[in-house]
Amino acid sequence: MRLSNGQGLLFDNDLPDLDVTAGYRGPTACRAAGITYRQLDYWARTGLVEPTVRGAHGSGSQRLYSFRDILVLKVVKRLLDTGVSLQQIRTAVIHLRERGVEDLAQITLMSDGASVYECTNANEVIDLVQGGQGVFGIAVGRVWREVEGTLAELPSERVDDGDDAQAYPEDELSKRRAAKKSAS
């Protein structure tokens, strides 16, 4: 982990570039994020986390979620698991949407169970703990790696495919891992 830019051990800046043409169907996104399909559908319909690769357009169409979407789904799941209210999670997700993927990799979310805070340097972590509140941290870079690892073994689809007959095209993560493996 890097300690540059005043960031402490909770931060990890060294994340790979993303293939923005890769998309993941609902069941794959659910598995990677650790949520139910019912949660995924509800969150998409209410605008909490909507698919950015391809939204649903009528009956029978398939939503496609990007890596970033799945990262946000997993962060939402972790916040729910720690008892943060859905209202506070919605506020946090709006904040995350306003930031790019590069920024997501450099933040840690903190919560005292009632609110969610963004922590961008080690001093903020110390201030929160000294305030006497019990807090937890979600290092988004670590969640990124978990989602990347899970998605490496699951199918993705290309946006430009347009052919639903091709059930499971090779995804970018698998290609990257295979290239890395053959280079070593």
Residue 130 falls within a domain, yes or no?
yes
* 26 band by pLDDT with thresholds 50, 70 and 90: very high
13 assigned to some structural domain: no
Does 84 fall in a domain? yes
Q: What CATH number did the domain enclosing 153 receive?
A: 1.10.1660.10
Q: Is pLDDT at 4 greater than 90 in this prediction?
A: no
| Helices assigned H by DSSP within the chain | 26-33, 37-45, 67-81, 86-98, 101-104, 122-130, 140-151, 172-183
**Alpha carbons 42 and 150: distance in angstroms, whole number:** 23
125 in a structural domain: yes
- Residue 42 lies in domain: 21-160+169-183
User: Considering the domain boundaries, does residue 2 fall inside one?
Assistant: no
How many domains, the chain? 1
Query: What CA–CA distances, in Å, run from 109 to 27, 92, 116?
Result: 26, 9, 7
Residue 8 within any structural domain of the chain: no
Q: pLDDT tens, 107-161?
A: 677 777 777 777 766 666 544 434 445 566 778 888 888 999 999 989 888 887 5
Give φ, ψ of 136 to 5 degrees: -130, 160
In a domain, 81, yes or no: yes
CB atoms < 10 A from the CB of 80, how many?
A: 14
For 1, which DSSP code? -
Q: Is there a domain that residue 12 lies in?
A: no
Confidence of residue 30 (pLDDT cuts 50, 70, 90): very high
